[in-house]
Amino acid sequence: MSNSKQSEAQVVHAPVFISGDDLETPTLKILRQDGTTYEGAELPEIDQALALKIYDTFLFIRALDERMVAAQRQGRISFYMTEIGEEAADIGSTAALDPEDMIMAQYREQGALAFRGFPLEQFMHQLFSNENDLGKGRQMPIHYGSNELHYMTISSPLATQLPQAAGYAYGLKLEEKQNCVICYFGEGAASEGDFHAAINMAGVYKVPAIYFCRNNGYAISTPSSEQFAGDGIAPRAVAYGLKAIRVDGNDVLAVLKATQEARRLAVEENQPVLIEAMTYRLGAHSTSDDPSGYRSKKEEEKWREKDPVARFKNWLIAQGWWSEEQDAAEMAQKRQNVLDAMKKAETVPSPKVDELITDVYDVPPQHLQDQLDELKAHIRQYPEAYPKTAGRLDDE
Amino acid sequence: MSNMNLLQAINNALDIAMGKDNKVVCFGEDVGHFGGVFRATSHLQDKYGKSRCFNTPLTEQGIIGFANGLASGGHKPVAEIQFADYIFPAFDQIVNEAAKFRYRSGDQFSVGGLTIRSPYGGGIHGGLYHSQSPEAYFTGTPGLKVVIPRNPYQAKGLLLASIRDDNPVIFFEPKRLYRASTGEVPEEDYEIELGKAEVVQQGTDITVLGWGAQMEVLEKAVEMAAKDGISCELIDLRTLLPWDVDTVAESVKKTGRLLISHEAPKTGGFAGEIATEIQQKCFLYLESPIERVTGLDTPFPLAHDKEYMPDHLKNYEAIKRSVNF
């Protein structure tokens, strides 16, 4: 039983080629840089408490990113990735969700996790891969996860979470839960085959999913002009049966508004949505990258003037909900908190060597137990070569 | 008990699994109303509805990515890849995602409910892309279980155990035997434990080891050898990862000789892993070199299908070679 959507509404008798330009994708903007809103702009649902919680998360992420880049430079952690310039995108969108909506992120969305209430100590345990890390010290820094906070553990392979989000959302639909999945990814990851697979399946099965693309202009050194030839990511989704919207990703009110509407479509109508947030990766791709090799300071400066955190601060001050004095004091306090937590976390020991073989399977099979026993015997023979574990072997 | 072929046994296992647990969901290309190109999922959509047995778009990476997500939410997807030859587009989702899901999250999330079913193997004039035996690509991946049944009874019991196992399982079905292999299968629910080999026939002179469709070939070879007075101990490995080292080692300590046979190419094939492990565990008991009778190190050919296959004659000769060493 074919169910072709092919329409013959418009029949022509000479070739007419459709161009991408025929589809104009508008960009939602609500907030100007000076903190005023555009005339006639529809504001999202936001009260003082929510606004301050969003802004508090902005400041926390700024303080965390700043300190941990420095910590990586000092060799205290092995790796780090900041989200500077993109705070409005992930934090603004997560603020539109129910706390039980699943977040499936790429890696530059620590703000979403912070908004959900992930404790500073847990950020640190993960970054230092110590024995208190929920991930048991197995993954590189910034690969966070929290079952309790409905934040699926990050993995490095790009875009793999996209079809997973479709499957997870299908499960929610089966259970008739009033929840959705938000799935974050960059514009570079959208070139992976998993993007195509995912949004096609999301469209076919009509799952409660929000695909949230952070289009920040670069995938490491590759500018978006070398990533795709079409008009960004949003128009692709329409062709697959999703609804799409493009927003100013540095405008937290626009992101919040778009995501509140998207969530309603996803949860109430099982209509998957793609949100493309236009933003800019102000920092390096990671601590292993130096952007001066592929882009100009001038370009960065232009975007620094569009700083999403400063823009939202201006709005908060205009509401009478915040002041420059409070801002300076709060930022200083956050920096101190991060520093204190970091110093504590780096003294916590690594997980025990026994954790090497747990969770590969539900129960370690015999061959893994044998390999662990051999390893322990070896460590006992050369304890000085394995300082993290030698002193902590179980007595037998 | 009723007489079933291997496909009917699989269909019956899926029916029982879906009937008893509404978390079990079957999907893949053409799996829905049509019941699959081999009809393994026949009538499941009629019985359990479109939301629990359905077609997917034609995208293997999508099927397994979707299955991973569904499983991470506590469901038990049984995803079908139409031919094992087409599992490779999903390799990333299987190896980097499914296999590592629990480990990387510190057991906060897992896809333990996932089962991937896929027809494998040659002997059906399938040429390069309807004949492959890709098991060894997966046995090198910690976190997965790899299971291959040899007949209808095994298929039902192992599939039910795979679906209920709390780890991602790849279940390869010997498609050459889908209709050719028939036997008595209990109608009720039963499971065969994963990770356990089965000694199919006791013997004293040589241990002959295989899995899946190769067991039928080995049975013939062993029969021929018996006429020459050679007593073979025939073992079906059944689960390749994690595999039952103890049962095989115990047998080799008794017989002093080992032959391993599989359809997949020799180099990098799973026989190499078994041979190495057994050589280490049974060094002082071995009376001849461990034999490997496998496919050639070529793509799977169409015209020379028969020449390529590690058939009963090649195995018979290898048994004699080992015993007369």
Number of separate domains in chain B:
2
Nearest to A138 among B92, B104, B195 (CB): B104
What homologous superfamily is domain A21-35+44-345 in, according to CATH?
A: Thiamin diphosphate (ThDP)-binding fold, Pyr/PP domains (3.40.50.970)
Report how far residue B277's alpha carbon sits from residue B299's, in angstroms, rounded to the nearest whole number.
Answer: 27
pLDDT tens digits, one per residue of A282-334: 999 999 999 999 999 999 999 999 999 999 999 999 999 999 999 999 999 99
CB contact under 8 A, A362 and B102: yes
Per-residue b or e along B22-35, where b marks 16 or more CB atoms closer than 10 Å to that residue's CB: ebbbbbbbbbbbeb
Which residue's entry shows tokens 């700083």? A307
Residue from B29, B97, B130, B312 carrying the catalytic annotation = B130
Considering CB atoms only, which of B93, B143, B245 is closest to A367? B245
Percent of chain A with pLDDT over 90: 94
Contacts of A198 in chain B (CB under 8 A): 62, 65
Same domain, B103 and B141: yes
Distance from CA of A138 to the nearest CA of B (A): 6
Phi and psi at B201, nearest 5°, equal -150, 130
**Same structural domain, B45 and B130:** yes
Q: How far is A121 from chain B (nearest CA, A)?
A: 17
CB contact under 8 A, B65 and A160: yes
Residues B123 and B230 in one domain: no
The model carries a pTM of: 0.97
Beta-bridge partner residues of B259? B208, B291
Asked if residue B192 is part of any domain, the answer here is no
Round to whole Å and give the CA distance between B291 and A15.
66
Check if A38 is active-site.
no
**Given this model, what pLDDT does residue A7 score?**
66
Residues B181 and B202 in one domain: no
Active site (annotated) includes residue B33: no
- How does residue A391 score in pLDDT terms, banded at 50, 70 and 90? confident
DSSP state letters, B32-43: STT--TT-TTTT
Q: Six-digit token pair at B72?
A: 């991470």
Residue A375 at interface with chain B, using a CB cutoff of 8 Å: no
**pLDDT confidence band for A396 (50 / 70 / 90):** very low
Beta bridge partners of B55: B28
Helix (H) or strand (E) holding A210: strand A209-215
Which helix (H) or strand (E) element contains residue A28?
Answer: strand A27-28
**Beta-carbon separation of A155 and B97 below 8 A:** yes
What is the predicted pLDDT for the residue at A10? 87
Residue B193 lies in a domain: no
Block residue for tokens 């829905």: B32
Q: Cβ–Cβ of B245/A366 closer than 8 Å?
A: yes
Q: Which residue range(s) make up the domain with B278?
A: 198-323
Q: How many whole angstroms separate alpha carbon A140 and alpha carbon A124?
A: 12
Q: Within this chain, do residues B25 and B61 fall inside the same structural domain, yes or no? A: yes
Q: Is the peptide bond before B301 cis (omega within 30 degrees of 0)?
A: no
CB-side exposure of B146: number of CA atoms within 13 Å? Answer: 24
Using one digit for the tens of pLDDT, what is the confidence trace for B236-249?
999 999 999 999 99
Q: Which residue of B has its CA nearest to A204?
A: B57
| Same domain membership, residue B179 and residue B285 | no
* Residue B190 domain flag: no
Q: CATH number of the domain that B245 lies in?
A: 3.40.50.920
Span A324-346, mean pLDDT?
A: 98
Instruction: Give Cβ neighbours of residue B173 (< 8 Å, ≥ 6 apart).
Output: B6, B10, B40, B117, B118, B119, B120, B148, B149, B155
Q: From the candidates B29, B60, B80, B219, which is the catalytic residue? A: B60
Can you give the pLDDT at residue A227? 96
Instruction: Check if the interface score ipTM surpasses 0.90.
Output: yes
Assess A146–B contact: CB distance below 8 Å, yes or no. Answer: yes
User: Looking at A73, A138, A294, A378, which residue is catalytic?
Assistant: A294
**Cα distance between residue A73 and residue A61, in whole Å:** 18
Cα–Cα distance, B137 to A270 (Å, whole number):
38
Q: How confident is the model at residue A344 (pLDDT cuts 50, 70, 90)?
A: very high
Q: How confident is the model at residue A339 (pLDDT cuts 50, 70, 90)?
A: very high
The predicted-structure confidence for A26-68, as pLDDT tens digits, reads as follows: 999 999 999 999 999 999 999 999 999 999 999 999 999 999 9
Write down the domain spans for chain A.
21-35+44-345, 353-390
**CA-CA distance, B39 to B31, in Å (whole number)?**
8
Same domain assignment for residues B27 and B111: yes
B185, B209, B229 - which closes a domain: B185
- To the nearest whole Å, the CA of B250 is away from the closest chain A CA by 16
Catalytically annotated residue among A62, A236, A246, A281: A281
| B191 occurs within a structural domain | no
- Tens-place pLDDT, residues A137-169: 999 999 999 999 999 999 999 999 999 999 999
Q: Any chain B CB within 8 A of the CB of A125?
A: no
Is B152 domain-assigned? yes
The yes-or-no verdict on residue A395 having pLDDT over 80 is no
Tokens of A369: 């137990």
Question: Please, are residues B269 and B294 in contact by the beta-carbon 8 Å criterion?
Answer: yes
Q: Which of B185, B209, B225 is the last residue of a domain?
A: B185
Q: In Å, how far is B22's CA from the nearest CA of chain A?
A: 10
Give the up-direction half-sphere exposure of residue B169: CA atoms within 13 A in the CB hemisphere: 29
Burial code (b: 16+ CB inside 10 Å, e: under 16) for A323-351 equals eeeebeebeeebbeebeebbeebeebebb
Q: What pLDDT sits at residue A3?
A: 61
Asked if residue A273 has pLDDT above 80, the reply is yes
> How distant, in Å, are the alpha carbons of A171, A187, A232, A235 from that of A24?
34, 19, 11, 9
